[in-house]
């Protein structure tokens, strides 16, 4: 666990030009606090403590403004910059080295049980206000621009903005 925390701090120092020190990141980065809280909630969720996981997740959301369902699967070095308003649904899968800005939603389009949230590939950047909805895949290295609505698969290394990519 401490390896991941050190890795997260180092990643934030690289990804955020405003970051001045590891101590500042540990004390004042709610996006990382949300990820760390999610790791505990996810462990509880996967070990059968679902109610406790939901309560812990709710507490983390209250403290950080970031809602990550304890069932979501998140890779290493996931960084949420600014954090507030982020929502990540239960069946979301997020790869390694993903950068997400504030007010991003990884949401569902159906009430049917099963995989209904996005899969985000390694090295993806999700701009502020992006909405990725449904069981879609955003390929590795893609960039989804601010305020873009995505409801279908995105190719690896694609660059999308709201004027180029339209929902179905």
* 2-160: CATH topology: UDP N-Acetylglucosamine Acyltransferase; domain 1 (2.160.10)
Contact 62, 84 (CB under 8 A): no
Residue 161 pLDDT: 85
Place of tokens 């080295």: 97
Q: Which of 56, 156, 168, 162 is nearest to 109 (CA)?
A: 168
Contact 120, 98 (CB under 8 A): yes
pTM, rounded to two decimals: 0.94
| pLDDT string in tens for the chain (168-residue length) | 567 999 999 999 999 999 999 999 999 999 999 999 999 999 999 999 999 999 999 999 999 999 999 999 999 999 999 989 999 999 999 999 999 999 999 999 999 999 999 999 999 999 999 999 999 999 999 999 999 999 999 999 999 987 655 444
Q: Which of 97, 84, 91, 100 is nearest to 70 (CA)?
A: 91
Report how far apart, in Å, the C-alpha atoms of 10 and of each of 61, 81, 120, 135 are: 24, 14, 22, 31
């Amino acid at each position: 666990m401490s390896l991941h925390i050190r890795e997260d701090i180092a990643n934030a120092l690289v990804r955020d030009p405003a970051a001045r020190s590891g101590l500042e990141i540990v004390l004042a980065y709610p996006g990382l606090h949300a990820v760390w809280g999610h790791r505990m909630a996810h462990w509880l969720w996967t070990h059968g403590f679902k109610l406790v996981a939901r309560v812990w997740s709710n507490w983390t959301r209250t403290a950080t403004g970031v809602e990550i369902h304890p069932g979501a699967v998140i890779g290493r070095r996931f960084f949420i910059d600014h954090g507030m308003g982020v929502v990540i649904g239960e069946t979301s899968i997020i790869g390694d080295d993903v950068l997400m800005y504030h007010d991003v939603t990884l949401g569902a389009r159906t009430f049917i049980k099963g995989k209904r949230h996005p899969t985000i590939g390694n090295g993806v950047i999700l701009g502020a206000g992006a909405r990725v909805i449904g069981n879609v895949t955003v390929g590795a290295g893609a960039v989804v621009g601010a305020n873009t609505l995505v409801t279908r698969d995105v190719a690896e290394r694609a660059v999308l903005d709201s004027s180029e990519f339209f929902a179905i």
